[in-house]
């Protein structure tokens, strides 16, 4: 069966059915000499995954020779517009399932991300920090890196989240180990860890809900 083009797929299944590269291909619309729109889109998405902020147009133009400044501006503008309109700050989190609204972008990633969601006294999101990006299904994280972000934001509490690119949401022995280390380190500093959540395209796993925190 012939693969559906992004616009055809959108018409049949909705915009949420598209993966990140397909979404990017709709933004840039065409490829460049020697590289298809889909090849360029994957390259751009992989580059964005390593950054916490919206890149300037020069970054896209430099890393994808031939893309051109006009298309680079279009990409940066689209990302900045989305950031401003759908910034999760002030989103109130009162249950593990609500965390998915703040980290939806992580569910389809093909690399493992470890992020920290800092919260104020009203359980509202202060910020979301990417602490570590791994390869395939493994990332390294140290409690001091996590807690440094919480302290910097003057947060009352935080939630740790990481994704499993494989789709399996069951925690590994290492996942449980780092949860315990983070919880104990936070106790020493008077910083409350509310949960450690694993997400994937198949759903989520809450250490709190499953009695592991």
pLDDT digits (tens, 9 = 90+) for 57-87: 887 777 777 788 888 899 888 887 877 666 6
> Does the pLDDT value for residue 15 go beyond 80?
yes
Task: Indicate whether 91 belongs to any domain.
Answer: no
* Number of structural domains in the chain: 2
**How many angstroms separate the CA atoms of 176 and 156, rounded?**
23
In the predicted model, is pLDDT for residue 132 greater than 70? yes
Which of 47-56, 88-97, 177-186 shows the lowest per-residue confidence on average (mean pLDDT)? Answer: 47-56
Give the pLDDT of residue 46: 78
Whether residue 213 is contained in a domain is answered as no
What's residue 29's pLDDT? 86
Instruction: Give the residue from 152, 161, 46 showing the smallest Cα distance to 107.
Output: 161
Question: In this predicted structure, what is the pLDDT of residue 87?
Answer: 64
Say if residue 129 is in the same domain as residue 174.
yes
The stretches of the chain forming alpha helices (DSSP H) are: 6-13, 20-28, 37-48, 57-63, 69-85, 96-102, 143-152, 173-189
**Of 12-21, 81-90, 124-133, minimum mean pLDDT range:** 81-90
CB-side neighbour CA atoms (13 Å) of 85: 6
For residue 42, being part of any structural domain is answered with yes
What pTM, to 2 d.p., does this model score? Answer: 0.66
In this structure, the answer to whether residues 75 and 118 fall within a common structural domain is no
Whole-number average pLDDT of the chain: 85
The predicted structure's pLDDT at residue 199: 92
Average pLDDT over residues 88-112: 79
CATH of residue 172: 3.40.140.10
76 with 118, same domain: the answer is no
Report yes or no on 90 lying in a domain: no
Confidence of residue 134 (pLDDT cuts 50, 70, 90): confident
pLDDT at 128 over 60: yes
Say how far apart CA 213 and CA 205 lie, in whole Å: 12
The model's pLDDT over 23-62, given as tens digits with 9 standing for 90+, comes to 989 988 888 788 888 888 888 887 776 665 677 888 777 7
Strand order in the sheet with 203-206: 125-133, 113-119, 157-163, 192-200, 203-206
Q: At what angle do helices 20-28 and 69-85 cross, to 10 degrees?
A: 130
**CA 213, CA 200: separation in Å to the nearest integer?**
20
Instruction: Report if residue 211 sits inside a domain.
Output: no
DSSP 8-state symbol, 16: G
What pLDDT shows up at residue 36?
86
What is the span of the domain harbouring residue 39?
6-85
81-111 core/surface letters (b: 16 or more CB in 10 A; e: else) = eeeeeeebeebebeebeebbebbebbbebbb
Q: How confident is the model at residue 89 (pLDDT cuts 50, 70, 90)?
A: low
Residue 109: per-residue pLDDT? 78
């Amino acid at each position: 069966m012939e693969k559906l083009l992004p616009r055809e797929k959108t018409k049949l299944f909705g915009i949420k059915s598209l993966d990140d590269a397909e979404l990017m291909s709709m933004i840039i619309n065409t490829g460049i000499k020697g590289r298809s729109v889909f090849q360029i889109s994957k390259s751009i998405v992989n580059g964005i995954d390593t950054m916490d902020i919206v890149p300037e147009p020069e970054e896209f133009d430099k890393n994808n020779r031939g893309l051109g400044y006009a298309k680079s501006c279009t990409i940066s503008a689209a990302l900045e517009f989305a950031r401003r309109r759908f910034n999760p700050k002030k989103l109130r989190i009162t249950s593990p399932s609500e965390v998915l609204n703040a980290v939806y972008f992580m569910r389809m990633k093909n690399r493992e991300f470890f992020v920290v969601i800092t919260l104020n006294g009203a359980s509202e999101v202060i910020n979301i920090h990417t602490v570590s990006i791994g390869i395939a299904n493994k990332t390294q994280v140290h409690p001091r890196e996590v807690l440094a972000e919480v302290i910097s934001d003057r947060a009352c509490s935080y939630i740790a989240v990481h994704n499993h690119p494989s789709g399996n949401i069951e925690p590994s022995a290492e996942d449980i180990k780092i949860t315990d280390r983070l919880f104990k380190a936070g106790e020493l500093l008077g910083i409350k860890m509310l949960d450690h959540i694993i997400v994937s395209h198949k759903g989520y796993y809450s250490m709190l809900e499953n009695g592991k925190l």
